[in-house]
């Protein structure tokens, strides 16, 4: 059965925040603006939001302390500020970290959620959120997830609720211009991974496939720019940003699969950036699925390669290796630990072809083995 849901209003284009300031007016009287420590002020997104709020006569409080892979404590800090300042909506600017933190704070601020059971406690309301992505990666502006580092499980966990879809997303590709090549590449690979994992998901549909294939085509078209790190062409920036949102719509409906489950562990234990962690694993995981599909008589891997305009997984590996450079290595004992943890993650049930622990060991060893 197909069940596709995406309630976020997406407004895109140059200067879209200021030009559509009136849309923010509908969200409330006082915003909690959530950002990382530097980039939102440097790339112009914060100034544009300030300008829009000023035009609307809306007040704001600023929480600008979001770290990469944000913690539960940080989400409670932001929610506490929203409560003290009587904020009635959230504007989250930045990469996935501030967007997810803003979404989590929007829920924590208006529900009695315990920090030690945050991910298992249901909630029935959230402040409205406007999201402004400044990386072209996570698609969080179009998903129902807020992902936080969870020390209790030594990995990352998701708050997941239809209430966490941002009400509004503003896609202005000018903000991407200041991305370092590293962040550009890692976040683009995250978006790629969302498209790939969505297509390999048990809940893939005609709707998510259409979005994923469009995202894959965009990734392939932007490969030369990703390789060089030169995204001075506004059309390239916009293509990457729109594709990341499309890929977000995919995973909002399919979830992610084993690649993300294993990737979270590389981030938690080895401090590998989120998108890069997925990229390290993707090629080997696709090879595994391709082998299993031959037995099952399906060819989703072929569909993925077709959308990328690639002939083989060798071509895929060469492209990803060119972007990633030298790979991190893990000891056999670490790989065993990651496979044992990841096989129990909820992501495994999301896959059309479900891997077993030996499959995860194979993927991790091929990707990272010494
Ligand atoms: P990020 O952690 O949000 O940001 C990485 C770095 O990029 C930070 O140093 C940030 O600086 C900088 N940055 C952001 N925008 C910039 C710009 N325009 N120019 C220059 N630097 C910029 O990275 P991310 O990969 O976008 O997000 C990863 C997080 O998203 C992870 O926690 C992951 O689990 C989560 N995620 C969520 C979903 C979802 O559906 N909700 C999906 C996938 C991943 P500042 O700190 O100064 O801002
Ligand atoms: Zn991701």
- Domains of the chain (ranges, CATH numbers): 9-176 (3.40.50.1970), 181-368 (1.20.1090.10)
Give, using CA atoms, the residue closest to atom 27 of ligand 1: 96
* Range 133-156 average pLDDT: 97
The pTM of the full predicted model, rounded to 2 decimals, is 0.98
DSSP string, 95-134: SHHHHHHHHHHHHHTTS---GGGGGGS-------EEEEE-
Q: Tell me how far apart the alpha carbons of residues 212 and 200 are, in angstroms, rounded to a whole number.
A: 11
Q: How far is the CA of 107 from the centre of ligand 1 (A)?
A: 20
CA 16 to ligand 1 centroid distance, Å: 21
pLDDT for res 250: 98
pLDDT tens for 87-100 read 999 999 999 999 99
Sign of CA dihedral 155, 161, 166, 171: positive
Residue with tokens 């969200």: 27
Contact 329, 284 (CB under 8 A): no
Q: Whose CA is nearest to atom 4 of ligand 1?
A: 95
Cα 51 to ligand 2 centroid, rounded to whole Å: 31
Q: Cβ(280)–Cβ(366) under 8 Å?
A: no
Q: Which atom of ligand 1 is nearest to the CA of 45?
A: 18
Query: What is the DSSP pairing of strand 89-94 with strand 59-66?
Result: unpaired
- Ligand 1 pocket residues where CB is under 6 Å: 36-40, 43, 68-69, 94-98, 100, 134-135, 137-140, 143, 145-147, 156, 175-176, 178-179, 183, 187, 190, 248, 274-275
Q: Is the pLDDT of residue 357 over 80?
A: yes
- Which atom of ligand 1 approaches the CA of 190 most closely? 43
What ligand is nearest to the CA atom of residue 186? 1
Distance of CA 256 from the midpoint of ligand 2 (Å): 8
Residues 293-331: tens digit of each pLDDT: 999 999 999 999 999 999 999 999 999 999 999 999 999
Say what the pLDDT of residue 1 is. 84
The Å distance, Cα 135 to ligand 1 centre, comes to 6
Q: How confident is the model at residue 222 (pLDDT cuts 50, 70, 90)?
A: very high
Ligand 2 centroid–CA 274 distance in Å is: 6
Residue nearest atom 9 of ligand 1, based on CA coordinates:
68
Note the pLDDT of residue 370: 77
Ligand whose nearest atom lies closest to the CA of 41: 1
Average pLDDT rounded to a whole number, residues 343-356: 95
CA-to-CA dists, residue 289 to 141, 182, 306, angstroms: 29, 28, 16
Q: Which ligand is nearest to the CA of 139?
A: 1
Report how far ligand 2's centroid is from the alpha carbon of 122 (Å): 23
pLDDT band, residue 3 (cuts 50/70/90): very high
Q: Please provide the distance, in angstroms rounded to a whole number, between the alpha carbons at the two ends of the chain.
A: 43
Mutate to test the pocket of ligand 1, among 135, 234, 273 (most ligand atoms within 8 A of CB): 135
Given a cut of 90, whether residue 270 has pLDDT beyond it is yes
How many angstroms is it from 316 CA to the middle of ligand 2?
A: 19
Q: What is the pLDDT of residue 351?
A: 94
**Percentage of the residues of the chain whose pLDDT score is greater than 70:** 100
Q: How far apart are CA 251 and CA 248, in angstroms?
A: 5
Q: How far is the CA of 114 from the centre of ligand 2 (A)?
A: 26
Atom of ligand 1 nearest to the CA of 43: 18
Nearest protein Cα to ligand 1, atom 39: 140
* 200 and 254 Cβ atoms separated by less than 8 Å: no
Q: Which atom of ligand 1 is nearest to the CA of 147?
A: 34
Query: Which-ligand-closest: CA of 248?
Result: 1
181-210 pLDDT, tens per residue? 999 999 999 999 999 999 999 999 999 999
């Amino acid at each position: 059965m197909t069940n596709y849901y995406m309630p976020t209003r997406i407004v895109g284009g140059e200067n879209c925040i200021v030009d559509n300031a009136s849309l923010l007016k509908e969200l409330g009287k006082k915003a909690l603006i959530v950002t990382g420590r530097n980039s939102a002020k440097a790339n112009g997104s914060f100034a544009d939001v300030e300008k829009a709020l000023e035009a609307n006569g809306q007040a704001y409080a600023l929480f600008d302390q979001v770290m990469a892979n944000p913690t539960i404590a940080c989400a409670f800090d932001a929610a506490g500020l929203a409560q003290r300042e009587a904020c009635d909506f959230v504007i989250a600017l930045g990469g996935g970290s501030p967007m997810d933190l803003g979404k989590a704070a929007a829920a924590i601020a208006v529900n009695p959620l315990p920090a030690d059971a945050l991910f298992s406690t249901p909630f029935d309301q959230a402040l409205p959120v406007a999201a402004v992505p400044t990386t072209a990666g996570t698609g969080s502006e179009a998903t129902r997830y807020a992902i936080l580092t969870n020390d209790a499980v030594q990995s990352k966990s998701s708050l997941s609720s239809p209430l966490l879809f941002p009400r509004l997303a503003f896609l202005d590709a000018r903000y991407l211009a200041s991305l370092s090549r590293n962040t550009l590449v890692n976040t683009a690979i995250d978006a790629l991974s969302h498209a790939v994992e969505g297509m390999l998901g048990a809940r893939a549909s005609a709707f998510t496939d259409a979005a994923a294939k469009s995202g894959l085509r965009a990734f392939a078209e932007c490969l030369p720019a990703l390789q060089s790190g030169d995204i001075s062409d506004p059309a390239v920036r916009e293509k990457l940003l729109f594709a990341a949102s499309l890929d977000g719509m995919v995973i909002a409906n399919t979830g992610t699969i084993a690649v993300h489950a294993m990737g979270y562990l590389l981030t938690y234990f080895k401090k590998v950036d989120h998108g890069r962690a997925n990229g390290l694993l993707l090629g080997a995981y696709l090879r595994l699925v391709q082998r299993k599909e031959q037995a099952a008589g399906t060819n989703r891997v072929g569909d993925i390669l077709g959308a990328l305009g690639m002939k083989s997984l060798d071509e895929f590996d060469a492209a990803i290796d060119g972007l990633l450079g030298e790979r991190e290595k893990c000891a056999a004992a670490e790989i065993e630990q990651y496979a044992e943890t990841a096989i129990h993650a909820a992501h495994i049930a999301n896959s059309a072809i479900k891997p077993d622990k030996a499959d995860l060991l194979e993927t991790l060893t091929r990707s990272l083995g010494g």
